[in-house]
Amino acid sequence: MSVPLFNKLMPGLFLILSSLVLPIAWADAEINPAYQTHCASCHGADRLGGTGPALLPGNLDRLKRPDAIKTITEGRLATQMPAFGTKLTAQEITSLAELIYAPLAKTPTWGMDEIRTSRVEYAKTGSLPDKPAFKADPLNLFVVVELGDHHATILDGDKFEPITRFATRYALHGGPKFSPDGRYVYFASRDGWIAKYDIWNLKLVAEIRAGINTRNLAVSSDGRFAMVANYFPHTLVALDTRDLTPIRVIDVKDDGGKSSRVSAVYDAAPRKSFIAALKDIPEVWELSYDDKAMPDKTAFAPRRLKLDDYLDDFFFDPAYDHVIGSSRGGQGQVVNLNVGRKIADVALPGLPHLGSGISWRYQDQTVMATPNLKEGVVSVIDMTSWKTIKQIPTLGPGFFMRSHERTPYAWVDVFNSSKNRDVIQIIDKKTLELVKELKPSPGKVAAHTEFTRDGKYAVVSVWENDGELVIYDAKTLEVVKRIKMNKPSGKYNVYNKITRSEGTSH
């Protein structure tokens, strides 16, 4: 065969061959030339992320495929994500969209070495002044997460004025967590980046990538450790909070070696332990940080509670003796953490959002209340008998429920509904009746309430790119102020978080 002819045939031959033998290998970014040319510089040659977020199926579960195509074609306004509609054909864009939803050909490793190497230190431990650089009450600050352009705002909770605003990693996941004195706040991003921020000095201190797909983190009540819950790899990662150096990577597996994603990890202060919810094996893990239980101080050997059913969303009683969990099947169980087994079933039919549950004294009992993700109802459960004492019908499925020790009302949104998403409903904690509906910004999604330290004001998010925080007098339910923000999601009051207010999640 003459060389010119070969050259002419070659591309066609290559296409035929590749479509025969490479349909799976095509999913590998390494040999997708368009990906390498146009995307790798920002999203990483291996799709694990860089300036841009990781482009892996597990990380994209909130982005629908048509939205991915739209993002690639049109880019994202006011971000570094460029538009490729004029550079690439529709066909090329579709195949790139296919690529990013395909699993990697080679499973990436993200173990102790990779984690340690990823750490960046911006300020040496002890190098920053030990007092706030501003006048506002350091315990009545809010950390406001703005998802629209990946920023956080530190808000003065007395004057309701922003003190500073700074960039965060892409897509923060789970609430930020505070050190016991409220000086530091720790963030986790969907792509596994953990950041330590010094609120008093308004400075980022350190960052480390603890996983590739991360759910949340918890900080120990003594402030010494952070524990990170990962979906990928299947690990829990313990960090030293002083400078975020990794202490231990804990593989999450059952007796047979089956590994599991970690749905979430929480600090159980009275027990001096972390409690982890597992997605794929029916166990709950307790990891003690009590020096007495952990003589070498860094073991974090899990105490594994074996259950009959999966528990992947949690609520704790105030003493942390019990964990109330729901499985995706809808059956709830109460596990006594001291005896290490299930002690009661609890009816939780509407897929409760236990991570957002709250508790209060009602008559002579402590009750917990949780919105439901699938039914328009708030379930109120007696925490002694574990019976549902009331189902309060709401305008639709909600997501966040909040209150405060010093306020008579519990606030719930209609976030998980297809309509009425602009409404916040107010429940009287004494009568368990709905007393009022608020529309912070008619037609715009309203969600997530948080109270000031004294419980006098409630702050609600208008969850849109041209959104705002709407501040209410928590007694009269009148609006006192509005502050523009870019898709504000959660707001976290330093005092309510570090004192573990019964009206907010932990």
- The tally of CA atoms less than 13 A away on the side-chain side of residue 506 is 24
CB of 71 to ligand HEC, least distance (A): 5
Is 193 among the residues that bind ligand HEC (CB under 6 A)? no
Is 79 among the residues that bind ligand HEC (CB under 6 A)? yes
Buried b (16+ CB within 10 A) or exposed e, 207-222: bbbbbbbbbbbbbbbe
Q: What residue type is 146 in one-letter code? A: E
Is 60 among the residues that bind ligand HEC (CB under 6 A)? yes
Cβ proximity to ligand HEC, 80 vs 107, nearer residue: 80
Cβ proximity to ligand HEC, 88 vs 458, nearer residue: 88
Is 467 among the residues that bind ligand HEC (CB under 6 A)? no
Is 72 among the residues that bind ligand HEC (CB under 6 A)? yes
The residues, any chain, with a CB within 8 Å of residue 475's CB and separated by 6 or more, are 407, 408, 456
Q: Which residue in the set 22, 30, 70, 81 belongs to the binding site for ligand HEC (CB under 6 A)?
A: 81
Check residue 294 and report its DSSP letter.
Answer: -
CB of 122 to ligand HEC, least distance (A): 21
Q: Which residue in the set 27, 28, 32, 43 belongs to the binding site for ligand HEC (CB under 6 A)?
A: 43
CB of 415 to ligand HEC, least distance (A): 20
Cβ proximity to ligand HEC, 43 vs 491, nearer residue: 43
Cβ proximity to ligand HEC, 80 vs 86, nearer residue: 80
Q: Which residue in the set 80, 86, 109, 127 belongs to the binding site for ligand HEC (CB under 6 A)?
A: 80
CB of 150 to ligand HEC, least distance (A): 6
Q: Which residue in the set 49, 53, 175, 350 belongs to the binding site for ligand HEC (CB under 6 A)?
A: 53
DSSP string, 92-146: HHHHHHHHHHSPPSSPPP-SHHHHHHH-EESS-TT-S-SS-SSSS-TTSEEEEEE
Torsion-angle region of residue 421: left (phi > 0), alpha (psi -120 to 50) or beta? Answer: alpha
Is 68 among the residues that bind ligand HEC (CB under 6 A)? yes
By CB under 6 A, what part of segment 134-163 binds ligand HEC?
150
Q: Which residue in the set 39, 188, 217, 226 belongs to the binding site for ligand HEC (CB under 6 A)?
A: 39
Q: What residue type is 457 in one-letter code? A: Y
Q: Which residue in the set 76, 203, 242, 500 belongs to the binding site for ligand HEC (CB under 6 A)?
A: 76
Cβ atoms of 476 and 134 closer than 8 Å: no
Total site size for ligand HEC, rule CB under 6 A: 24
Is 95 among the residues that bind ligand HEC (CB under 6 A)? no
Q: In 3-state terms, what secondary structure has residue 364?
A: coil
Cβ proximity to ligand HEC, 60 vs 414, nearer residue: 60
CB of 73 to ligand HEC, least distance (A): 10
Is 84 among the residues that bind ligand HEC (CB under 6 A)? yes
Q: Identify which range of 38-46, 123-131, 422-430, 494-502 contacts ligand HEC by CB under 6 A.
A: 38-46
How far CA 482 is from CA of 15, 137, 139, 178, 501, in Å, comes to: 58, 20, 22, 26, 25
CB of 70 to ligand HEC, least distance (A): 9
* Cα separation, 357 vs 501, whole angstroms: 12
CB neighbours of residue 298 within 10 Å: 11
Is 38 among the residues that bind ligand HEC (CB under 6 A)? yes
User: Residue 134 corresponds to which tokens in the numbers above?
Assistant: 């501003």
The residues, any chain, with a CB within 8 Å of residue 265's CB and separated by 6 or more, are 215, 216, 217, 218, 227, 228, 229, 236, 274, 275, 276, 277
Is 96 among the residues that bind ligand HEC (CB under 6 A)? yes
Is 56 among the residues that bind ligand HEC (CB under 6 A)? no
Element (H, E) at 19: helix 3-21
Q: Which residue in the set 22, 73, 82, 254 belongs to the binding site for ligand HEC (CB under 6 A)?
A: 82
**Interface mask toward ligand HEC for 167-186; x: CB under 6 A:** ---x----------------
* Cα separation, 393 vs 411, whole angstroms: 14
Is 27 among the residues that bind ligand HEC (CB under 6 A)? no
Is 22 among the residues that bind ligand HEC (CB under 6 A)? no
Q: Where are the beta strands (DSSP E) in 137-261?
A: 141-146, 151-156, 161-167, 177-178, 184-188, 193-198, 203-209, 213-219, 225-232, 235-240, 246-251
Cβ atoms of 286 and 337 closer than 8 Å: yes
Interstrand relation of 302-306 and 246-251 (parallel, antiparallel or unpaired): unpaired
Tokens 């209340």, located at residue: 369
User: Residue 343 corresponds to which tokens in the numbers above?
Assistant: 């002690």
Cβ proximity to ligand HEC, 170 vs 274, nearer residue: 170
Q: In 3-state terms, what secondary structure has residue 21?
A: helix
* Cα separation, 33 vs 490, whole angstroms: 40
Q: Which residue in the set 22, 63, 123, 269 belongs to the binding site for ligand HEC (CB under 6 A)?
A: 63
Q: Identify which range of 40-48, 202-210, 212-220, 353-361 contacts ligand HEC by CB under 6 A.
A: 40-48
Is 487 among the residues that bind ligand HEC (CB under 6 A)? no
CB of 442 to ligand HEC, least distance (A): 27
Is 304 among the residues that bind ligand HEC (CB under 6 A)? no
Give the interface with ligand HEC as residue ranges (CB under 6 A): 38-39, 41-43, 51-53, 55, 60, 63, 68, 71-72, 76, 79-82, 84, 96, 100, 150, 170
